[in-house]
Amino acid sequence: MTQPMPNSPSPVATEPATNPPPVIRWLEAEQERSARWRSERGAPPPKRVVLADDTTTADIAYRLACEGTALLWRGDFQNAKQLLQALARRTDQVPTRKRKKAATPVPVAQAFHLHRLAQSQRARMLGMLLIPVNADYSIPLRRAPDVKLACTEAWGPANEPAGVSVVSLRELLGITSAHEWRRKGVEIAALGEPPHNRIHPHYGVFSPVRGEYIHLVATAHLPKPPSGQALIAFDVGTGTGVLSAVLARRGVRQIVATDQDPRALACARDNLTRLNVTDKVQLVQTDLFPEGQASLVVCNPPWLPARPSSPIERAVYDEGGRMLTGFLKGLTAHLAPKGEGWLILSNLAEHLGLRTREELLAAFEANGLRVVSRIDAKPQHPKASDASDPLADARSREVTSLWRLAAA
């Protein structure tokens, strides 16, 4: 039986935070000070904190950061940005001896893990430059920008009793950058003509910049529903809601979009409202599938089975392939007769030695699925042709596929 769909999206409940926020402590004017520590990537508050200002040189700041000492900035905000850029340049400079050692070929899987380790170490080091933020999300520094709206989008409404917070400058700049993405939006050709073809990603929700997978969903042949019934589609792990919007533009009138992240669901609702397709899409907060069956079940899981180092990376890295495995295990139970599951997956994991094609095909068979067809697309993003990228060889051979799966 197919699941009937209400005419409007149901509200999404969010669980209130119960754990007290972490606290960062430091000495200032011979007194111990403290503030709320904010870190979206879950980094613990630094144990050693010193004050820094416009007189702090890049060399001193770099040495302290390498030693694990954080610098709480008390100078000009724009100078802090310049210092962060200087720290990044020093971090990215590879000593000659390490460059020669790196020239020795290593297995591709090892190269991937070394790349991820280097990224993590870089993020930790650059995260040592800290900025104070007032309770109203203003920044008490000279020449500081107005980040109130950006912080509200990321952290929720300002809470006056909360007092001063401390955040890494690198993360704060990420928040303001995400705000610009949300304000401008991402043009999606499959949604029609401007200006009604933009998706506005929220902070913490992965932006749909990889247009090839969207094109695949926009052009693949839709399955036929059971006789006398309307086509019902499930969008599993909807994120920004872009694939639900594409299906709605294609004429699918009953879509159930799921996600377990409240931020993603709020983002999807905003986008679907902007595109005027909320009458066709029901949003459900759940892990993977909603109740019932559908003639089309679409899923674009994270493509790399590796551990994410921050919440935003969960859209790219899926430790142990949990979402992919869960989708394949539950798909047949949620397919209507003659229904199809559309799995959108890059083969980058295969080129990085993280998964083989044989393992993927075996997973289809083990879960009672057969391949109806596969539609491929080459990536168009800049990294696909960036020879300086540590993973350039694997990226140059990447193919994104839409696997049309059906019950065996």
Q: Are residues 220 and 356 in the same domain?
A: yes
pLDDT at 63: 96
Same domain, 219 and 313: yes
Domain-ending residue, one of 163, 181, 199:
181
CB under 8 Å to 194, separation ≥6 — which residues? 187
CATH code (residue 198)? 3.40.50.150
Report residue 45 as tokens.
């508050």
Residue 1 in any domain: the answer is no
CA distance between the termini of the chain: 19
Report the C-alpha gap between 242 and 211 in whole angstroms: 11
Which tokens belong to 98?
């390490």
Same domain for 169 and 199: no
- Angstrom distance (rounded) from CA 332 to CA 330: 6
Q: Are residues 40 and 111 in the same domain?
A: yes
Separation of alpha carbons 166 and 134, rounded Å: 9
Which of 181, 203, 224 is the last residue in one of the domains? 181
Q: Is residue 174 located within the same domain as residue 191? A: no
Out of 162, 181, 200, a domain closes at 181
Domains of the chain: total: 2
Q: How far apart are CA 408 and CA 15, in angstroms?
A: 40
Residue 262 lies in a domain: yes
Does residue 5 lie within any of the structural domains? no
Instruction: Read off the pLDDT of residues 364-392 as tens digits, 9 standing for 90 and up.
Output: 999 999 999 999 998 877 666 677 777 77
Phi, psi of 346, deg, nearest 5 = -85, 155
Q: What are phi and psi of 304, to 5 degrees?
A: -115, 120
Take residue 47 and report the two structure tokens written for it: 């144990």
Residues 217 and 313 reside in one and the same domain = yes
Does some domain include residue 329? Answer: yes
- Based on the domain organization, do 176 and 307 belong to the same domain? no
The whole-number pLDDT of residue 198 equals 95
Q: Is residue 6 part of a domain?
A: no
Q: Residue 173 falls within a domain, yes or no?
A: yes
- Whether residue 238 sits in one domain with residue 157: no
- pLDDT tens string, the chain, 408 residues long: the values are 334 344 334 444 344 445 788 999 999 998 999 999 999 888 899 999 999 999 999 999 999 999 999 999 999 999 999 999 999 999 988 655 555 555 566 777 788 888 888 888 999 999 999 999 999 999 999 999 999 999 999 999 987 666 899 999 999 999 999 999 999 999 999 999 988 899 999 998 989 988 889 999 999 999 999 888 899 999 999 999 999 999 999 999 999 999 999 999 999 999 999 999 999 999 999 999 999 999 999 999 998 888 887 777 777 888 889 999 999 999 999 999 999 999 999 999 998 988 999 999 999 999 999 999 999 998 877 666 677 777 777 888 899 999 999 999
Same domain, 131 and 224: no
Tens digit of each residue's pLDDT (9 = 90 or more) over 282-312 = 999 999 999 999 999 999 999 888 888 777 7
Q: Which residue has the tokens 């430059």?
A: 129
**Six-digit token pair at 64?**
């302290």
Query: Helix (H, G, I), strand (E, B), or coil: what is residue 77?
Result: helix
State which H helix or E strand residue 393 sits in. Answer: helix 392-396
Residue 392, Cβ neighbours under 10 Å: how many? Answer: 14
- Residue by residue, DSSP assigns 137-153 as S---STT----HHHHHH
Q: Are residues 173 and 192 in the same domain?
A: no
Residue 16 lies in a domain: no
**CA 275-269-400 angle, 5° bins:** 75
Question: Which tokens belong to 95?
Answer: 């000593």
Q: Write down the H helix ranges in 156-298.
A: 169-184, 211-219, 242-249, 262-274
Residues 308 and 278 in one domain: yes
- Res 103: pLDDT: 56
Tell me which residue range forms the domain holding 53.
23-181
Is 176 contained in some domain?
A: yes
The answer on 372 and 247 residing in a single domain is: yes
